[in-house]
Each structure stands twice: as C-alpha cells, then as structure tokens.
Structure 1
Amino acid sequence: MEAEKAAARKAAFARRKAAHEMDHGAASGVLSEVLAGYRGVPLSGYLPIRTEIDPRPAMAEAAAHGVVGVPVIEGQGQPLQFATWTPEGALVPGPFGAEVPEAILPMVPQILIVPLVAFDRRGGRLGYGGGFYDRTLQMLRANGPAMAIGFAYAAQEAEGLPLEPTDQPLDMIVTERGVLEVG
C-alpha cells in the first residue's frame, strides 16, 4: 500500500506543480463563496507550503466574521492542534516548513480547509503520509460536527486512490473550477 501511495503522490505532485504555475487566484473566490454560508463557525485554514493552493484570501475574509485558526504540529503520531490566526498576526517558522502564529492561542475548528496532494470524487484524500489530518478529523468528528473541505487545483483529481480504512473522507472539495459535493 505504501508503494502505491508513494507513486500516487509523485504523480499528483507533478500535476499540482503544473497547476500552481498557472494559478491566477480564482479558487480563493470560490472558497470564499462556500465559507460565506458558514459565517461565524470556527474555521481552520492552513498557511501554504511549496505548491499548495493558497487559502489565505478566503481565510482573511472569514476572519472578519469569526475565529480562524491554522494547524500546529505537536509531534509525530499526534493529532493537530490549532492556533488562532489573523491576517495581520506575526508568524514564525514551524515544523515541516509551515509557519505558525507567534502567539499560540488555541482554538477548535468545526470546519477545516484541508490541503492535499490528490483527491477523488468520493471524498478520498491523499496527503503527505503523516496521517495528521486523518487523526485530527477522527478526533474532532468523535466529539461533534467537523466538516472537512479539501482545497486543491482541479488537476489534483485522481481516480482509484490507494486509501486505507483510517483515511478520513472529505465532505466537499473546492477547486478553481467550482465545488464538488461528496457523497
């Protein structure tokens, strides 16, 4: 299974890189439209690394209406924690190259904008392989409502992703081409 996932990741990274080079920021507007229906609901986005699609414009808009956070990696094998983020807040380097807020003010999201390497139309998600979002979504969903919105370039769509029973599904996928409802 790991060899299959590694091959799927390699192909998806190449597709994502090509899409990133052509990005004109349209997807953030689509994401903002989706989030407008959830004003005030605690939300987590992410601070993009490498060629990840950038959710920050939509996060900044959402921050005007409610609490927005970003993930903080506490350690390998652990679920993510979340720190409150503001568009003007100071950031410092965090694990794996992602920045984190300088002042860590904990928050618990009910909506998570999830980065990914590849997705399928059934809500399957291939991440980087650390299982952070899978553990986190499982924990949050066990304690209440938690909606996972995959945010990606349309080119990151794949068929037949090598998924495992512990992989947590996405509830919705947002790309520059629109919204894919799952299920």
Structure 2
Amino acid sequence: MHGNSPKTLRQDLLKQRKEFAAGNGYAQIQADLIDHLNQLLSEQGNSWQSIALYWPIQDEVDLRSTLLAWAKKTPNRTLALPFARSDKHLDFFEWRQGDQLLPSKHGVLEPDPNNSARPQIIPDLILIPCVGWSSSKVGDKKHYWRLGYGGGYFDRTLADLRKKNPKLVCVGIGFDWQQLNDGQWSAQTHDEPLDMLLTESGLLR
C-alpha cells in the first residue's frame, strides 16, 4: 500500500494528509481534535507550567490559538517553540505571540536562540505532530509511537529531556486514519514512545 521504505511511506502519508486537509469534513475533524485538547488542558493543565508546541507546516493541525488561550488564563504559564540544532537535537525557547521567528534550513519558522528576552526552557508537556503513528502492547501496557519526518530530532531530544525532567509528558497529535499496522511500519529501538496520542476520536493513553 505504501511501498517498502519509510521514505516512500512518509511521502504517501503526507500526500494523503494534504488531500485530507482539503476535504469537506476536515474543519469539523480538526475542531473535534482541538476540543479533546481543550478537555486535556481543562483536566490536567494546572499541573503544567510550560508547554512546547510546534509551528504548523504541511497541513499539520494548528494548535496555536488554543495554547495561547491556555497560557493567558494563569500568570507564569509559558509556551515554547523548538529550535533545531546542527547536531539534530532540539532546544525549546519561550515563545509569545508576535515574536519574530527565523526560517530554518527545513523551512520551519523557529525562535531566535540569541534573543535574551526569550530564555531556553525544559517544557513540562510537549505536543508533537505525527506523519503516522502506531501502537504496540507489552504485557498490560500499551505504547504509542510516532512516525515523523525522518530526521530523528524528536527521538534524540526526548531521550535527553526525559533524563532532565522525568515527569515530562509527550503527546502526539494525529488523525485516526494515520494509524499504521506492523506490516506498514513498526518502531525501531531508537524510537522514543509517546505518553499519549491525541486524535479526533479522543485521547489515547
């Protein structure tokens, strides 16, 4: 269905996402997903002081307005955006609406790491967009896995941040149709599991 290589799989999934985002029902599906995010923030948002989001590209769900509203509700809440380092790790810097961002070599807008008014932070919650996702069960525990763009940035970063902040929560953002079976893709030993996965159907833990 998707060819034999992860690269071909990613290309096929990104093409499907573009077509999906142009469809008639997309606005409602996106709204449903954001409703579930709002529910998560309502239930657990007080336990997080900082949330790292992403600047949406290639038809990713735009969570910015939802998270800006969360940040404004209580003093000292902060949002952060990732900055891609040359060693393929991510640093997170505080972000506020209206900040000037810089395009990366991948075309993603990023914070300026030299902006002294926006310090680097270790977030409590990271929201990560998925190109595809899968699940696996070990004993009674279910794991969720993210297929990304192939650079490995998030896996390296999560492995490092989880040592610094054991309470870090990582939530993948995706759609139901992006779920992959073992015949299409399975997580590798270097892949970091997601703590939760959020789709239009709800929150998967």
In the superposition, the TM-score normalised over structure 2's length comes to: 0.78
Residues 8-30 of structure 1: per-residue CA shift (max 9 Å, x gap): 21232133223222331312222
1:89 aligns with 2:99: yes
Deviates more, 1:64-73 or 1:27-36: 27-36
Equivalent residue number for residue 52 of structure 2: 44
For the residue of structure 2 that corresponds to 1:159, the secondary structure is coil
Runs in 1 of length 4+ with deviation above 4 angstroms? Answer: none
Q: Kindly provide the CA deviation profile for residues 124-180 of structure 1, in whole angstroms up to 9, marking residues without a partner as x.
A: 111111100000100011122221100112222211223210000111111122212
Q: In structure 1, how many angstroms separate the alpha carbons of the residues matched to 2:22 and 2:168? A: 32
More strand by share: 2
Q: How far apart are the structure 2 equivalents of 1:58 and 1:132?
A: 25
The alignment-based identity, stated in percent, is 27
Larger Rg: 2
Per mean C-alpha deviation after superposition, the further-off stretch among 99-108 and 64-73 is 99-108
1:149 aligns with 2:163: no
Q: Please list the CA deviations of residues 51-99 of structure 1 after superposition, one character each: whole Å capped at 9, or x if unmatched.
A: 2121212221232231110111011x43200111123333332331111
- Counterparts of 1:1-183 in structure 2, within 5 Å, are 4-22=5-23, 23-24=26-27, 25-26=30-31, 27-36=33-42, 37-39=44-46, 40-64=48-72, 65=74, 66-75=77-86, 77-102=87-112, 103=115, 104-121=118-135, 122-144=143-165, 145-160=167-182, 161-181=185-205
What TM-score comes out, normalization by structure 1 length? Answer: 0.87
- 3-state DSSP class of the match of 1:82? strand
In the alignment, is the contact (CA less than 8 A) between 1:29 and 1:58 conserved in 2? no
In structure 2, stretches of 5+ residues that fail to align are 136-142
| Count of aligned pairs between the two proteins | 178
Question: Is the contact made by 1:15 and 1:155 (CA closer than 8 Å) also made in structure 2?
Answer: no
My pick for the range that moved more, 129-138 or 88-97, is 88-97
